Amino acid sequence: MASTPQFAEYVFEKLAHVGEMNYRRMFGSYGIYMDRKFIGLISEDQLFIKPTNAGRKMLTTPLEAPPFDGAKDWFLIEDLEDSAFLVRLLVATWEELPFLKAKKPKRR
């Protein structure tokens, strides 16, 4: 099952005041980017955040699941009502993740 645009919009309303947030449709899911870092995924109308040590400390006993078949486990965030906590979690995750590598230009 693919994610609905309505669920993606709902998640982004919760995170609207956090840095430069955007998302891209990818293979029926949505990739979540914060200030040029890939930090999460919306898949099957569920929010998944990349696992980091900081996130693990904040969640204490995180619920982990793969966002799609064949993927490694990510943090599955079920409580989307606490926007302040989500913001802190995303910022802590962002601080620990590297920036995306620049793509090499194609040779002609």
Q: What is the mean pLDDT of each run of 10 residues along the chain (108 residues)?
A: 83 79 86 90 94 94 92 94 90 89 76
Phi, psi of 24 (to 5 degrees): -130, 140
Reported pTM: 0.86
The correct answer on CATH 3.30.1460.30 for the domain covering 5-96 is yes
pLDDT number for residue 1: 55
Report yes or no: 30 and 59 within 8 Å, Cβ to Cβ: no
pLDDT number for residue 106: 78
Q: What dihedral do alpha carbons 100, 89, 75, 80 form, nearest 10°?
A: -120
Domain coordinates of the chain in residue numbers? 5-96
